[in-house]
Amino acid sequence: MSENQPTARIARTYRFEAAHHLPLLPSTHKCHRMHGHNYRITVILRGQLDNRGFVTDFGELDDEIAPLLKQLDHKLLNDVPGLENPTAELIAFWFLERLSRAVTIRVYENDDSWAEISRD
């Protein structure tokens, strides 16, 4: 592909289920108590197209994220190193730290609430 080509963005969404509580909130806050979510995470990559016409093959991204999802799926997030206070923002940051090619991570706790962390 030409070096003068525009930058492309791709995204892939993954799901995991997990429990958590937010220990830094007041004990009267509902999220201070243990509860769970059906999380959705969207991983966004940016780059130039390779000789195959991809930023990356989605299967390669799947292989990269699978071990991370395994650490979180059906787990208590507070027990995962780096997620002792697992807000949606900090979960997004946790993924961004571990996915060097990602430029943006969006974490949905439900259909109406999400947090996003970006490198740019």
31 among known catalytic residues: yes
- Angle at 61 (CA atoms; ends 60, 62), nearest 5 degrees: 90
Which one of 31, 32, 64, 116 is the catalytic residue? 31
Radius of gyration for the chain, computed over Cα atoms and rounded to the nearest angstrom = 16
109 is catalytic: yes
Q: Is 74 a catalytic residue?
A: yes
Q: Check 17, 60, 74, 97 and give the catalytic one.
A: 74
Q: How many CB atoms lie within 10 A of CB 47?
A: 14
Catalytically active residues, by annotation: 31, 74, 109
